[in-house]
Structures are given as structure tokens and as C-alpha cells.
Structure 1
């Protein structure tokens, strides 16, 4: 059976050209999993060579372009290896099938969770697009003042008298200093929390936070430590508290910690 389109594809996705198939990679995988194409008739080497040639034609290579191919290619390789390699004994096969079933269930749960989170983020974005930050308090509307028999000359005289007795503005006695919080300070604070125990929580770090700036800087400090693989984070439920866990296999020198605690300030 040869599966070829009547006309060129309408989308700009990468397409595979084989003797029995022409189309996108995900369609090829779907047809094989539905047993409409024989996996043994598909040359994975030919698919790989075509994709490498396709990459050479791209001016800008994005991670999505590469990861989409790797996911489908890995699935094709698994299917072909299952067909070509000897079958294991029934007892081992049953354990592998059970393991694959558990993996599939977990993947479906993860997919459902990410889909719900994506919908929630989309909802928040849409609501934010209809909101505007108030930069000034609402205007105070004064009640209408009935002037009665007051003339323009009367108003001018009243204005002159008011300006003549206008007091001098009071001097400034107190200067409020700008509150400054640095990422380095929060990294040092997280380090002290983790020195007294193996883990702490994000909410515990925010217990005495005095401003939104401090909350934001604390989050940036956590992300910086995760990026440098100093800590790991876990979250048991959506929008719940975040566990910060010190990694046993990573040890920073005092110079490294000193460099982290000197990171720029955020106001």
C-alpha cells in the first residue's frame, strides 16, 4: 500500500519521502501504530539522512524542530526493535507490558496536568489583557458650587486675597530611604535555612516578607540556585507550597557562595 498525497502538503512541517509514504513524521508514526504500515518496511536510516539534509537547509534551528523529530524517531526505533528483536519469555514480557502500562498512565496524567495548567495560564493571560493598572487614584468630584450674585470681579478679588496670605510650604524633615533587596541576600538566606536542615519551603522563606519586591527577589534567588543545580524543588499539588531540597552531590566552595551572594540588587 502506497500512501502518497494528491497535492503538496498545505503546512510547512517537515515531510518524509519514502517508497510507500510521503507526509509528516507524526502521521507516519500514527499509521504504523494503527498497523496500516509495516514498521519493517520503513528505513530509519533513510529517514534520519533526509532529516539531517533538511536541517542543513534551515537558517535558524529551534529546539522544537529538533525535539519533535527525536520524539517520533525514538518511538519508531522502539517499535522496530520490538518487531526485530527476539521476544522475551512470557513472564518477563508480562512485567514489561505492566511497566509500559504504568508509564503510559503516568504520561496521560502528566499530559492532563499540563493541559489544565496551560488552560489556567491562558485564562489568566486573557483576564490580564482586559485589566489595566491604575496609575493614579480616581478623581475626587467636588459638588457644584452655586455662585449666586458673585461677579467675575468678586472672584478676582478673592483670588488676590488668597494668594496674598498663602503660607510657605513646609520643609522636608524626613527622607524615606528606598527599600533594597538583593538576590545575593536571599541566596544567603536560603543557604542558612538549608544549613540547619536538609530542606525548607518557599512559603517559609516568605513568612516575614515585607513587600512584593522581596517575594519576587526570593523567587529569583530560588531559580538561580536551581539553575546552578545547588538545590532541587518539588511541588506536590498545583499552586501548593514548593519544597527546596539541598543536593548532596553538589558542593560549592566558599568563593562560589561569596560570588552568589554578591549578585545584583533589585528595588
Structure 2
């Protein structure tokens, strides 16, 4: 569990990422359900509530602007959890009553169906869609890799692993880095142009990087994704995050 006194605060920078550009609270719940291989029809509310609140703490640490929808969902989960802790009804009463999770399950299934339809639509070839200047010419590109698009929460997972490693190496953190998000954006673009291939997320910072540099790297990656200059992907769900130029 992360300490409530966060190890990092972007006090010297007003840079904030708005989550509306990426994912919503239902996306986070679906991510947790898939990651933990939960049965969507029988969600362990206590566990998923704990993990959901933990993600909100990490998102706050990352200067992610947590929209009201996320806080509303947190309240919903806590309310469902409290109802689940009440004395269980008899079999007859249970058949007549509603499962406190029923409405949440309905919303998740409906949203999951919508997301699948939207993904299929996006994957259809469209003439002159997404026209932009490529960072690397077709001739210079490495062969296409098997890829599954990574989401915001996959990136947060990768960030957490990097931070855990940085905690163990905290004695290297002598001087407070003055690197900005804008600096890191340019650095990542130059690195991709030089390498001409996809790179694992952890190679975007050196082994002895401070926790602040890791956070700024994360924010720079989000900015590049938002601008559609890079893709973040995995060979399979929950495997190593890689980035490549669009």
C-alpha cells in the first residue's frame, strides 16, 4: 500500500493531465477485473474497492486530474461494500431482493459491449483517416510486432513497478532533477527517431533515475499518446509495455 504522504508532488510544475482524454472509472474497473481474473457477475467488492482506491492515490501522485466521475464511483463502491457487509438474508429473501452489485454489473457489461463495438469500428480501414506526418519513414520501420493497445492503467502499472525499483535505489537520489515534461517529450521523440524500433517503457529512463524523473517520463508518454505521436502496446495483456512512433 502506498503511504498517504505521497513520495512525490509536482510542486514546481503546474502540469496536469486530464483523464477525460484517456479513460474513465468503468475502464479502471474493467482493467482490475481482467487483471485479477475476476468473474464480472460475482465481483469481490471488498478487494476491487481497495484496489480502485489505491489506483486513485497513484493517479493523484501522478498529477492526473481525477474527475468527479472517479470520486462518484469510489462512493458507489464503498456504498455497495457497506451493503454487502450487512447480515445476509435468508434464501427466500435473497431470491426476492436485489444483489447490491447488480446495477454496477449491468453498467460494466453495457460499457464493455460499447467499447468492443467502438474498437471494431476504429479497426475498420477508412480512406484518408488519421492523416499526419510520420516520425519515421515506412522504409526505416522495423517489422510489425504483435501488439495489443495498452491503456492508461497498464501504464500506471508499469510506472508503479519502476517506482518500486527506484525506492530500493533511493541512495542515488542526491540532486533534485529539474527536467520538465516538455524536455522529456523531446528526449523520447529523439530516442525513437534514433532507434527506429519500439522500446520497452523502462528504457525511457536510466536504472538510477530518481522517482521524480520516472513521474515526468510517465507524464511525457501520456502527452505523446494524447498528441497521437506514439503508441503504447503489449504483446499480450499485462506484459511489458512498449512504445513506438505512430
Normalising by structure 1, report the TM-score. Answer: 0.29
Q: Which has the higher contact order (CA 8 A, sep 6+)?
A: 2
Normalising by structure 2, report the TM-score. Answer: 0.31
